[in-house]
Amino acid sequence: MTHMDFAHPYFGAFVMFVVTFTAFGATVWLSRYVSRKIARLDTEKLKTTLYECGPEVTKQPNTISTQFYLVALLFILFDVEIIFMFPWAVNFKLLGWFGFVEMLLFITLLSIGFLYAWKKGALEWHSIK
């Protein structure tokens, strides 16, 4: 091809997408750069000092158990799979036996995944002691 074709109907939308993407990236980078230059870094001592009375402040790592993330991920996974059942229920008569068998296969695979997660202990909630 010896020349560029600027007459494509979506060329303007593509250019706007690229410009928006570049402007967003530049704005995020600039705001991060400016905030790091302006931020006060000497406030750490103030945060750990005593306020009037009370026990001495000790820094503890803020750790969140991965169990929260695993349960949330499983919830989203099974919730999205359940959403696929709604169109099937709406068109149940139209799909006939083929749709029924297909949904039984889908529910079977969903149940196998649920039982696998249950056997692996992904649904067990460990107490924090």
Sign of CA dihedral 54, 55, 59, 61: negative
- Residues spanned by the domain of 18: 10-120
Q: How large is the average pLDDT for residues 69-79?
A: 84
**Which of 29-33, 50-54, 65-69, 115-119 shows the lowest mean pLDDT across its residues?**
50-54
Does some domain include residue 129? no
Tell me, what amino acid is at 83?
Answer: I
Which residue from 83, 72, 71, 70 is spatially nearest to 110, judged by alpha carbons? 83
Total of domains in the chain? 1
* 18 sits in which H/E element: helix 11-38
Does some domain include residue 18? yes
CATH (domain of 47): 1.20.58.1610
DSSP state of 91: T
Which residue from 70, 47, 65 is spatially nearest to 57, judged by alpha carbons? 47
pLDDT at 129: 42
**Is the pLDDT at 5 greater than 70, yes or no?**
no
3-state class of 71 per DSSP? helix
Does some domain include residue 128? no
Tell me the pLDDT tens digit for each residue of 26-62.
Answer: 999 999 999 888 877 666 666 666 666 666 666 677 7
Does some domain include residue 40? yes
Tell me the pLDDT tens digit for each residue of 84-113.
Answer: 888 888 888 888 899 899 989 999 998 898
Does some domain include residue 2? no
Does some domain include residue 125? no
pLDDT at 48: 62
